[in-house]
Amino acid sequence: MTRVLLVDDDVALAGMLREYLHGEGFDATTAHDGEVGVEEALSGRYAIVVLDVMLPRLSGVEALRRIRTQSRVPVLMLTAKGDDVDRIVGLELGADDYVPKPCTPRELVARLRAILRRSEAGAAGPGGPVTTGPLSLWPERRHAEWEGRPIDLTSTEFNLLEVLARNAGRVVTKAELSEQGLGRPLARFDRSIDVHISSLRQKVGRLADGRSYIQTVRGLGYQLVRE
């Protein structure tokens, strides 16, 4: 069974979600404050972490920051509906995706599966690096290099970069990126792709002429420069 860590201070809600996840074939453990949540998340026992933004003692955003300093475990944020700041900050800090709360448990499970499928699909994929220009990706190892130096990417960032690399030189629309990279259709007003791409830009180097390696094609999507 896939092990899921559920960090939410609402004990009743966490209990019910654990029950629901169990019914869907997940082995869920709950933690009710940020500090315990970080400790558990870093234990390496979990395939994915569901993290509520509003947590006592240690906020969800701060918990995410701490997790990301040491681990690349996929993180799904539960954010308050309409609170864009938390969402964008979370994605910038390396959350793989977010679900607005309150959400139906079905939606939560769908998101969990999408993230897990992506990280597992990569691991099971065909060997050999995908190389384009100075960038090399090893999907089976979730490993990326820029000019021979490894770059540290979250699971979602890796997926997006892989989609772009496989289509280098071609414009990839946001809808395609969302479907293939995040595993879900693009929602209206959804800025997650932009936030992920923006943090990818900071991790991936620039071209010799100073241009960004990932080009924005306004109104369409993004494109990896192909020399």
Partner 1 sequence: MGRFFWKFLLSYWAALLLVVLGIGLTTWLYRLADEGRDASLESGPRATFVAESAAATLRHGGVAALRGVMEEWRRHGDVELYAVDASGRDLFGRPVSPDVLERARARAESDLEWKGARRVDLPGGESWILFVPIGHRSGLARFFRAGAPPSPWVPLLVGAVVSLVFGAALAWYVARPIRHLRAAFASLSAGHLETRVAPLMGRRRDEVADLGRHFDEMARRIQSLVGAQRTLLHEVSHELRSPLARLQAATGLARQNPQKLESSLERIEQEAERLDDLVGQLLTLSRLEAGVADASRARLESTDLVDLVASIAADARFEAESCGKDVVFSSHGETVADVRAELVGRAVENVIRNAVKFTAPGTVVEVTAGADAADAAFLVRVADRGPGVAESDLDAIFEPFYRGAAGSSGPGFGLGLAIARRAIAAHGGRVDARNRPGGGLEVEIRLPVGAPGLLPHRSA
- Residues near partner 1 (CB under 8 A) are 9-13, 16-17, 19-20, 23-24, 32-33, 54, 56-57, 80-82, 101-106
Q: Which is nearer to partner 1, 101 or 118 (CB)?
A: 101
Q: How far is 222 from 164, CA to CA, in rounded Å?
A: 8
* Backbone phi, psi, residue 28, to 5°: -100, 140
Q: Which is nearer to partner 1, 34 or 181 (CB)?
A: 34
Q: How crowded is the C-beta side of 221, counted as CA atoms within 13 Å?
A: 19
By the 10 Å C-beta count (0-12 exposed, 13-18 middle, 19+ buried), 19 is classed as: exposed
Q: Which is nearer to partner 1, 13 or 171 (CB)?
A: 13
Q: Which is nearer to partner 1, 16 or 121 (CB)?
A: 16
CB of residue 101 to partner 1, shortest distance in Å: 5
CB of residue 157 to partner 1, shortest distance in Å: 28
Residue 218 token pair: 């306004």
Please state the separation of Cα 21 from the chain's center in Å.
20
Residue tagged 């990896």 (tokens): 224
CB of residue 13 to partner 1, shortest distance in Å: 5
CB of residue 86 to partner 1, shortest distance in Å: 12
| Percent helix, percent strand, percent coil in the chain, to nearest 5 | 45, 25, 35
CB of residue 24 to partner 1, shortest distance in Å: 7
Q: Which is nearer to partner 1, 69 or 104 (CB)?
A: 104
Among 76, 70, 21, 71, CA closest to 52 = 76
Q: Which is nearer to partner 1, 56 or 150 (CB)?
A: 56
Q: What is the DSSP letter of 206?
A: B
Helix (H) or strand (E) holding 223: strand 221-224
Please, which residues bridge with residue 217 across strands?
221
CB of residue 180 to partner 1, shortest distance in Å: 28
Among 87, 84, 50, CA closest to 67 = 50
